[in-house]
Structure 1
């Protein structure tokens, strides 16, 4: 019976070659781990351009030109020290990379991964999943405004006994943050004072027969990257044209006076 020939994707070949180059292990050792013949894996390595691989295995600790130029990314040591993190990484990427290849890179056994995958979910994991769902719901109900203190208070009212520290850690781990509202500014008009009030000469008649007879003025504020910018403007009621303006980082008398001075210099109104 003719033996069926195995086929490998280019991505699988590249990962196998990278395992040989980055781990410093021999072609025989890696080939045995992946279930490949030495001749097949050596041919892939030679094709990749790694110098010296066609004649001998890479000695432990030896760095080649291909290693330095093409394999600058290193395996996260935290993954290798924590089997649970390694198994979780393999589970999340099993559709993109071969399981045995990832187990070899992360220095865990395939049997250990499959045992981890098949074991029942712990009570703590279930509790964390339920708490995370509750946190997301409270955060969503608040339109993203609640941080961990308010989320904790709402969950306590719901009867959940999770501590504020646990909720804060879980929100930080999953990127759940409170949306900060922009700072509110006090309006430019403040009628609560005992200062003299100018008489109302217009009496809500917003019409003017000729230019430079009635001017209107106002002050507003504009948020910028460097802080609040205050703008004073003077408008001719006849033409609705801005005849004077000034900008400052404060709202003092000098701001309004500068806008009025510009209007007088440009328009040169007659007396009266």
Structure 2
């Protein structure tokens, strides 16, 4: 009998699906680096999945859709096309009929020095400047600075190309601060205000999400745990404080529920679970994955959550007690008492569900898992001095080893 894998089945299945979704365009090592395992480990998981499926995949397996899911996706696309026909280009960049896009007074004005330069040979600089009521000295200063302006424009064009590359690499989600941090991470010494000016000029924007109502359903009869965090979402060490929460994602006409566990020190997602239900097993599976991620030794960790029925359940309390985890809970109806988890959900929804709706459960699982691995490995966090959670943990552990060695 082979040794049992320390990684949960849900995590292994999602990692295999992520590799297959690349369609051979990404290597085992590249996908494994995002997931947080070795390339050979991921290769063995794919091989095992192939063997369990009978050594091959049908066409529906390769596309990740069953017949019912494909039908649901096509119906959703058909509905979107019907709406598009009514609006004739709505949300596709076309101006609406009768709109105020083109108004009187918006005509482009010719720059005065360009005008002087273009007609100086015919009328002379002195006469044109007298008619325009501008000083000739200003025109000659503009001529003298032509080379510097050209060099500055070339530099701006090159910087805009780099900004667009960063923006596209991170799925169009990064705003000014994260783009600036990414450029600095590449060794590019550039002023943040310059990045902001160029992004505004070229209409390069990050994504924003409107606030939504919370959906926590508390169990009034279950005894709550004390609030050991008191809105202090900072920690000096890894595995000092964790937090968790549940959110929902609309998939066609149904819902997919997602539970996550984050380390408050590094903001890293240690565990997650996705299911079509919101029972206590959902949060227990996420917690057990987090425990496995940390090697099983988590005695004394504070786990903070809201007072949802899943976190106040006896089954969840039993798992926490078994590993020596100290439960902590905020007040009912106060999102600020679990602000870190709420901020995390906003980032996920803003960057994976911006103006779109998932058609199938498999599509939703794959894209959410892909974002979770991207978040851990590469997404820069302002609270971590614009490092990714994985980079922050590496620096933190390296500093601890140096301290011990000293």
Q: What TM-score do the two structures reach when normalised by structure 1? A: 0.30
Higher relative contact order (CA 8 A, sep 6+): 2
More helix by share: 2
User: Between Structure 1 and Structure 2, whose CA radius of gyration is higher?
Assistant: 1
Q: What TM-score do the two structures reach when normalised by structure 2? A: 0.21
